[in-house]
Amino acid sequence: MTIDKTFDPAAIEAKWYAHWESTGAFRPERLNAEPYTIVNPPPNVTGSLHIGHALDNTLQDILIRHARMQGKDALWVVGMDHAGIATQMVVERQMAERQQKRTDFTRDEFVAKVWEWKEESGGAITGQLRRLGCSMDWENERFTMDEGFSKAVIKVFVDLYNQGLLYRDKRLVNWDPRFKSAISDLEVETREVNGHMWHFKYPLAAGETYTYVERDADGIVTLEEERDYIAIATTRPETMLGDGAVAVHPGDERYKQIVGKLCEIPVGPKEHRRLIPIITDEYPDPDFGSGAVKITGAHDQNDYGVAQRNNIPMYRLMDEVASMRSDGVPYSEAAAQAKAIAAGGQWTAADIDALNLVPDAYRGLDRYEARKRVVADIDADGLVIAVESKTIQQPFGDRSGVVIEPMLTDQWYVDAKTLAAPAIEAVRSGAINVVPKSWEKTYFNWMENIQPWCVSRQLWWGHRIPAWFDKDGNIFVAEDEAGAQALAGEGVELTHDPDVLDTWFSSALWPFGTLGWPAQTSELDRHYPNDVLVSGFDILFFWDARMAMQGIHFMKEVPWKTLYLHGLVRAADGSKMSKSKGNTVDPLGLIDQYGADALRFFMAAMESQGRDIKMDESRVAGYRNFATKLWNAARFAQSNGIGGSQSISAPKAELAVNRWIIGEVVETVEKLNKAFAEFRFDGMADVIYHMVFDQFCDWYLELIKPAYVDGEKGEMDEESKTVAGWVLDQILVMLHPFMPFITEELWHALSDPTHPRKYDIIHAKWPAPNASADRAAIDEVSWVIETISKTRSFKAELNIPPGTRLTANIAAPQVSTAAIIERQAAALSRLGRIDQFVYSSVDTNNVAQIVVGDDTIVYALDGVIDLSAERVRINKAIEAATKERDALAGRLSNAAFTEKAKPEAVEKARADHAEKAAEAERLTAALARLG
RNA sequence: GGGCGAUUAGCUCAGUGGUAGAGCACUCGCUUCACACGCGAGGGGUCACAAGUUCAAACCUUGUAUCGCCCACCA
């Protein structure tokens, strides 16, 4: 098959992908081979391929194709994530377009609609991953909500519950008022926003007063006055309605006199205002604000802790959309009940929760509207001390973008601390190898301070929590309702917990749930632990850490031996890509424009030690050019009768140029293997790029190019054809993990028609040349390259047309040089335009001279030469050589260096010095010869 | 407040102790029969700053500055 003149990626990509997939190439039967496993981070079923996926999946595909070529039983597990909140959002948004909402349907109807959506519109990304060339095992594609996987999820829940590692608790959770659901700590992002801090007076009960004294650091009194109030600062006045106490630091002298007394919350109808105690707690910082803090246990994380420690009631003020509550008895009655409780009555958390302490006038108001009203009312009473403008740290839902409200609710929690301990140990002991290692510290820091993980979500789309309640609130956890009924006893009426599980709870099981667990399948046996997990560091806590915890807990073994973390792909200006900013780059557009191979190579070349990657389209274009270069090299090979090689071992070779290029292949394989062992993707790309461009195309192909004799193209020698064919094959194989499409195309195009390829390159064997570098060949080719380069160089600098043919004179050549010249005459003539070498001096000083190794080559020029330019040129070279010579001499004359430096370093310095000195000498002689 | 990372050529980035590198961009030359998405030849950097360790520092130590990210309960 003749290779087309132009390289058109689109023309070959679809063809080869379809071929691989239809022939089962991604998962060859290799039951006796060493297993190699990667599980793909399941993309959201709603997702489409973004640039981050392109990076993540390219890296994995490089690893899996490499492993496959090493003959391993390479399995790349693929599937999709049901993505609870994200998917429910998408479907609800579509409903909204038709003036429908979720609650127009029953839960079952809604869930059925989501499934319908999933079947029709979900999973667009799988086609896009194929376009990128990813060689996943599509035959066994999984979904986090498919039957088998769901079974694993339920079992994990039940087991953790029975082991006491999962429990139901009423705590302050991050409540997302838009989704009307709890979310985990990780799903909250703190942003700095402009806000205010209000300073209010909380009047002391019954008009009491005290002497307020403030002192500076030296104890000098700076303020002394009678006060009938305690000053409180808050950024959230609307939560005052739920205050249970005012706290001061136990060592705060200013308030000692009034600790234990009562003060009044200055909001609401005056006749019903509540009194709250002034207590002490370590939490308040005497140096901040007034040093006194109002305690609203139900709406603030810090206050929650104080309230718990001091048994202060926590009054919930808001409803599920974070508006002020409007349920319950009228405020007057509620306030009376609260007063009774405060006076020492018996109360339970449920009693408190039922109590709505929002004054009637504020009921049903949005929290921010309520804030305005509260502030206005306090102001009207003259109790505002000051209003400060201030940037405050505010929690936002990472998906909803709305302000999170801490709320006291019943949720399910995983005892993450217990599960984290062995996961920490696994990294510490090296059972999990974190690459780059610098991420270990971040991992440890988070894991060591891990908090209980809230796993219940008040959504409809997801794994329904396998818990049932009787009417007294007793909990029965079992894999199904019958099991729960059995636990509860016959005839007990049960209600199924309406909540679903956090999406990450299920995806944490991905490394073993996809392999058939809880069944003990052979797949599970072979492919767990996985070999590598490739993930962006942005999901280190969300996903990676949780996989480590769940994997070790349920499988008694780490989920993967290596955790490779890569960075983010950023926009060209370094900013984060986001749809809202409109600065995203579509990987599919890049594939259309430059080809998947070019995009993949770009990703590999830019991936270095987990650093972020700045998008640079010109580099993608550069790697498209690289692919074109390879394409044309293959065309050249084909036109010279160079076909596919049938050999893994390097062919025998006599010619120096062939022995040299075989050595280059050997070296490239070694460097590539090292880079793979170290997960240095940029290193891999660099090595193969230079092998193809510099060694193979720029020199080797040029050196073996047949000469034209009388206008007729000469025939290439057989040895070079054989070697070139073998080298090109090794290049294609080594490049295949990075550029799968073009290499597969060329692999077949280059096959010898009489001996077609026995297999696709995707199954070719990774190079093992069984050869070594050849010193003599390297020296010979290096001499040729240097001579040609320097000859071209002086022509360019002296403005001599590059095509000018010259005779080279060497007065007294080294014996080895003469031999090289004799063998390489054709190459020197064609590439260096050197007609002949004459071993004598020239009788003119109208010359250009170059120094190559121990020889000075003199070119006599027919008056065309600008001697002053040649002097400048040689002087520059002398300067460079003497500078280096002198630097080395300086070092060598330093006794401290020769005595203390490593012997190899001294030896090398001596050798380099001798060489530079000789070169300087020769150049100086050359300059003198110009007269 | 704690932690991590970055600072090297115009741009994007490699380089962890022994004479500063790549790609792109730039300059000059080339219709050399694989390739102008090309070929050849060049220019361009006191490696953020300061001090220290060392025979020797872009690289190790300490500090400073600037930028970025993550974590954290100052109302």
For the ranges A502-506, A708-712, A896-900, A909-913, which has the lowest average pLDDT? A708-712
- The pLDDT of residue A410: 92
What CA–CA distance (Å, rounded) separates A62 from A385? 65
CA A438 → C1' B62, Å?
Answer: 21
- The pLDDT of residue A780: 94
In the predicted model, is pLDDT for residue A876 greater than 90? no
CA A311 → C1' B47, Å?
Answer: 61
A693-700 long-range contacts, Cβ below 8 Å, gap at least 24?
A693/A626, A693/A629, A695/A661, A695/A664, A695/A668, A696/A633, A696/A661, A696/A664, A696/A727, A696/A728, A696/A731, A697/A629, A697/A633, A699/A781, A699/A785, A700/A657, A700/A660, A700/A661, A700/A664, A700/A724, A700/A727
Nucleotide with C1' nearest the A290 CA: B75
What CA–CA distance (Å, rounded) separates A514 from A502? 18
| Tokens found for residue A682 | 């940029």
- Give the E-state strand segments of A381-502 in sequence order: 384-397, 405-414, 433-435, 453-454, 456-457, 467-469, 475-477, 495-496, 500-501
CA A792 → C1' B28, Å?
Answer: 13
- The pLDDT of residue A644: 75
In the predicted model, is pLDDT for residue A762 greater than 70? yes
Q: What is the per-residue pLDDT across A514-549, written as a single tens digit (0 to 9) for each?
A: 999 999 999 999 999 999 999 999 999 999 999 999
- The pLDDT of residue A903: 87
In one-letter notation, the amino acid at residue A150 is: S
- The pLDDT of residue A709: 65
CA A882 → C1' B54, Å?
Answer: 26
- The pLDDT of residue A693: 92
CA A637 → C1' B28, Å?
Answer: 32
Q: What is the per-residue pLDDT across A166-221, written as a single tens digit (0 to 9) for each?
A: 999 988 999 999 999 999 999 999 888 888 999 999 999 888 899 999 888 788 88
For nucleotide B38, the protein residue with its alpha carbon nearest to C1' is A629
Q: What is the per-residue pLDDT across A607-637, written as a single tens digit (0 to 9) for each?
A: 988 788 988 888 999 999 999 999 999 999 9
Nucleotide with C1' nearest the A637 CA: B34
CA A372 → C1' B75, Å?
Answer: 19
Question: Is A410 in a helix, a strand, or coil?
Answer: strand
Nucleotide with C1' nearest the A699 CA: B39
For nucleotide B39, the protein residue with its alpha carbon nearest to C1' is A698
Nucleotide with C1' nearest the A575 CA: B68
Nucleotide with C1' nearest the A294 CA: B75
Q: Mean pLDDT across the stretch A793-819?
A: 90
Q: Mean pLDDT across the stretch A88-107?
A: 91
Nucleotide with C1' nearest the A636 CA: B34
For nucleotide B15, the protein residue with its alpha carbon nearest to C1' is A683
Q: Mean pLDDT across the stretch A803-828?
A: 91
- The pLDDT of residue A710: 63
What CA–CA distance (Å, rounded) separates A728 from A780? 22
- The pLDDT of residue A384: 92
CA A621 → C1' B36, Å?
Answer: 15
CA A678 → C1' B4, Å?
Answer: 21
| Tokens found for residue A597 | 């191979």
Q: What is chain A's mean pLDDT, rounded? A: 91
Which bases in strand B are touched by protein, i.e. have an atom under 7 Å from a CB?
3-6, 11-15, 18-19, 22-25, 28-30, 32-35, 37-42, 54-56, 69-75
Q: How confident is the model at residue A289 (pLDDT cuts 50, 70, 90)?
A: confident
For nucleotide B30, the protein residue with its alpha carbon nearest to C1' is A802
CA A902 → C1' B19, Å?
Answer: 17
Q: How confident is the model at residue A59 (pLDDT cuts 50, 70, 90)?
A: very high
CA A775 → C1' B28, Å?
Answer: 36
Nucleotide with C1' nearest the A686 CA: B22
Nucleotide with C1' nearest the A905 CA: B18
Q: What is the per-residue pLDDT across A217-255, written as a single tens digit (0 to 9) for each?
A: 788 888 889 999 999 999 999 999 999 999 999 988 899
In the predicted model, is pLDDT for residue A604 greater than 70? yes
CA A614 → C1' B23, Å?
Answer: 14
In the predicted model, is pLDDT for residue A588 greater than 90? yes
For nucleotide B67, the protein residue with its alpha carbon nearest to C1' is A574
- The pLDDT of residue A353: 84
CA A687 → C1' B24, Å?
Answer: 18
In the predicted model, is pLDDT for residue A828 greater than 70? yes
Distance of CA A704 to the CA centre of its chain: 44
For the ranges A78-82, A472-476, A511-515, A575-579, which has the lowest average pLDDT? A575-579
For nucleotide B19, the protein residue with its alpha carbon nearest to C1' is A884
Nucleotide with C1' nearest the A305 CA: B73
Predicted TM-score of the model (pTM)? 0.93
For nucleotide B36, the protein residue with its alpha carbon nearest to C1' is A625
CA A742 → C1' B31, Å?
Answer: 29
Nucleotide with C1' nearest the A574 CA: B68
H runs (alpha helix) in A736-774: 740-749
CA A818 → C1' B15, Å?
Answer: 38
What CA–CA distance (Å, rounded) separates A531 from A35? 9
Residues 6+ apart with CB under 8 A from A602: A616, A619, A620, A623
